[in-house]
Every structure is written in structure tokens, then in C-alpha cells.
Amino acid sequence: MASSALVKVARSLLAIIWHLLADRATFHGLGWDYHLNRLDTGKKIRNHVRRLEALGLTVILTKPLTYTDPRLAILRRGPLSRWLRWLFSGQSAGNAMTLLSATVPTGSS
């Protein structure tokens, strides 16, 4: 039984290889961001909201703050301005643990 499945898979692979060689097909990669570009964010948001509401939670969606948001104007002029620029620059995702270890006090009191 297993050998017949193996023969069928091998035959399929040989047929694919034959068609690729016969047509002189060249490989065109879709790119690393192919699936990201096809992502329907609206559909994904609706699905996640529906699933959270099914668990009995109330969901309120808001847009994230940006560095130019007027609500952050007072902070941009203060001592946190350098930190805010770094946070909204996009480098913060990779350096989140560095930030946490630098700002969270460790040790005993």
C-alpha cells in the first residue's frame, strides 16, 4: 500500500520536472513580501473582533499614536523627546528588550 503511494508521488514529480524542462520555464520568485501585500487587514480585524466578542469581551479600536500626533506635543519638547523619536522610528521593535533592561530597575531595594 505504501509503495503504491510512493510510486504515485514519484510519477507526479517526474511529470512536473518534465513539463518544466520541456517548456524551458524559468523560476520567478514572488518575493519576500508576497503574502504581506495580499493581506486583507480589514478582514483580519473583523475576524479578530468577532472572536474576541464571542469570548464576551468588548472591543474598542483606536488608531495608534504617531510622533507628530498633537497629543504628544508636550512630550516632544520635554526630556522624553529623544526616547519618543526612537520609539516611533521603527527601530523600537528590535530594541524593545534593550529599552526595558535600561529603564526597569533591577536588584533589591
Give pLDDT, residue 53.
94
Lowest mean per-residue pLDDT among 11-20, 36-45, 72-81, 87-96: 87-96
Structural contact between residues 45 and 39, judged by C-beta atoms closer than 8 angstroms: no
Cα 43 to chain centroid, rounded: 15
Backbone angles phi and psi of 90, in degrees to 5 = 95, -10
Supply the pLDDT for residue 100.
Answer: 44
DSSP letters of 1-28?
A: -HHHHHHHHHHHHHHHHHHHHHTT----
Q: What is the pTM of this model?
A: 0.36
Residue 54: predicted pLDDT: 95
Q: What is the per-residue pLDDT for 49? A: 93
Question: Residue 38: its pLDDT value, please?
Answer: 81
Torsion of CA 71, 73, 74, 80, to 10 degrees: 110
Most confident of 18-27, 60-69, 91-100: 18-27
Across 15-24, 63-72, 100-109, least confident range: 100-109
